[in-house]
Amino acid sequence: MKSCLDNNPALAREVWQVAEVAGYLWQKGWAERNGGNITVNVTEQVDDSLRKAPAIGEPKAIGVTLPHLRGQYFFCKGTNRRMRDLARVPMDNGSIIRITDDCAHYEIIADNEVMPTSELPSHLSVHNYLIAKGSTYKASLHTHPIELVAMSHCDRFLEKDVLTNLLWSMIPETKAFCPRGLGIVPYMLPGSVELADATIRAIDDNYDVVMWEKHGVFAVGENIMEAFDMVDTLTKSAIIYRDARSMGFEPTGMSQAQMQEISTVFHLPK
């Protein structure tokens, strides 16, 4: 079967990077059944033939109006599709969409009519926000990392930056590679516009990764591998914390002075 990736190596590279990350999510146990979703802004990789491609099916409402997304293209995981399937056959388990001129609808343009993820309002609202800010970030990832979700069931960890500081203090790399920490979004209905709005507020508060309480995390990055790496790094810290606790002690953690030294030496953003 013909695919829009066949004669477009740049687009194929983006989609296959998503597939690689989808495989990691499954291997890590973060992607039960259809759990999690990924979108990547592929506007730069879309070629003329795809720009001229007719829509597959009718335009569909996003649920929000996103003025900075007019004419933008995204690869999106399909709703109800499995990460482990997307890892093998990405274009059967995801699709490329175009935002229509009214900025309130999208149309699927390739390869098949795979309906995008139910978390599309959050993903597209975040992409709209990133473009408005002049950000170079192109990818967003929602996933269900076991240890981080478990920690979101503890009220103390939901206070601002308590979890950030705890996770940073477990191993130097976490602050170095996730320097903005972990924002917190209180529990809200999955797929809702309210969740999308709260996610934007948290990202605007200068976080690249935010916790959706008792559900999962949402991360943004230059590309999907970077977004994944930040979640992976935070999860490593959560596992170290859990393992120390299960060995019967509260881990000491690095001191504030040691963490400050990391910020200085790595020239980390605030």
> Given the rule CB under 5 A, which residues bind Zn ion?
216
Q: How far is the CB of 15 from ligand 13P (least distance, A)?
A: 16
Residue 24 near residue 228 (C-beta atoms within 8 A)? yes
In the complex, the smallest distance separating the C-beta of residue 246 from ligand 13P, rounded to whole angstroms, is 27
The site for ligand 13P, by CB under 6 A, has a size of 12
CA distances from 241 to 163, 168, 171, 238, 245 (A): 11, 11, 10, 5, 6
Of the candidate residues 8, 17, 37, 95, the single one contacting ligand 13P (CB under 6 A): 37
Rounded CA-CA distance 167/181 in Å is 8
- CA-nearest of 28, 34, 84, 37 to 236 is 28
Residue in the shown chain whose Cβ atom is closest to Zn ion: 216
If one asks whether residue 94 binds ligand 13P (CB under 6 A), the answer comes out as: no
3-state secondary structure of 171: coil
Q: How far is CA 29 from CA 146, 147, 178, in A?
A: 7, 11, 21
Considering the complex, state which of residue 4 and residue 188 has its C-beta at the smaller distance from Zn ion: 188
Catalytic residue flag (residue 119): yes
Contact between 77 and ligand 13P by CB under 6 A: the answer reads yes
Choose between 80 and 255: whose C-beta lies nearer to ligand 13P. Answer: 80
- Under rule CB under 6 A, residue 140 binds ligand 13P: no
d(CA 236, CA 221): 19
Catalytic residues: 119
**Binding-site ranges for ligand 13P (CB under 6 A):** 34-37, 77, 79-80, 117-119, 142, 190
